[in-house]
Chains A and B, each alone.
Chain A
């Protein structure tokens, strides 16, 4: 069966420090991968998505970047965190099966607090 791992679960970082959040998927190959950010009690803002290794689509110009060094690994990074980067970050994947749309599976999220 497929599983998605996202870590860490919580993170407190000082302003100006670097960030690296990792997401890995098991049990599938060639997934679509997504990073979202959620402000407190609100909807999901799509940050990046990837349809293959090294292929990253950026949705919101900001202080963050994403990379996909391996098929089932998606990394969210920042060189210098801002206070406004605080939030709940969610990784997700769905299988790419032609034009069929299937459920997207979410990780448990990382709560990032920039202080």
Chain B
């Protein structure tokens, strides 16, 4: 079974629209990472969240970690073609341990 569940698995939005990607775990998340990947390439680090209720923003992308530290959301405002790609959430599920697992990814397509 998947330790990190991402939803949706794929998303097609019109350019300029807002969108949200979710990442959920049944376990406490001791470090939550968001990465973006262009098809067939390496991963680009977006943000890391650690504290319950924490929220970070970079340009038009905002990520939040809920108070219980079991769910994170990634929100893109006014999407652009450059936002297209695969978004991956990763997390440490054991405090102090180094096992870093990832969700199934969300494939984002932006239609002009």
Chain A residues proximal to chain B, CB less than 8 Å = 32, 34, 36, 41-46, 49, 51, 57, 59, 88, 90, 92, 94, 96, 99, 101-109, 111
Please count how many residues in chain B sit with their CB below 8 Å of the partner chain's CB atoms. Answer: 28
Residues of B at under 8 Å CB distance from A? 6, 30-31, 33, 35, 39-43, 45, 48, 50, 86, 88, 90, 92, 95-96, 98-105, 107
Interface residue SS majority, chain A: strand
Q: Look across to chain B and name the residue whose beta carbon is closest to the beta carbon of A6.
A: B42
In whole angstroms, what is the CA distance A73 to B33 when docked? 24
Tell me which residues across on chain A come within 8 A of B105, comparing CB atoms.
Answer: 41-44
Instruction: List the B side residues contacting A51 at CB < 8 Å.
Output: 98
Interface residue from A36, A88, A96, A101 paired with B31 (Cβ < 8 Å): A101
How many pairs, one residue from A and one from B, have CB atoms within 8 Å of each other in the complex?
Answer: 64
Assembly CA distance A57 to B31 (angstroms): 20
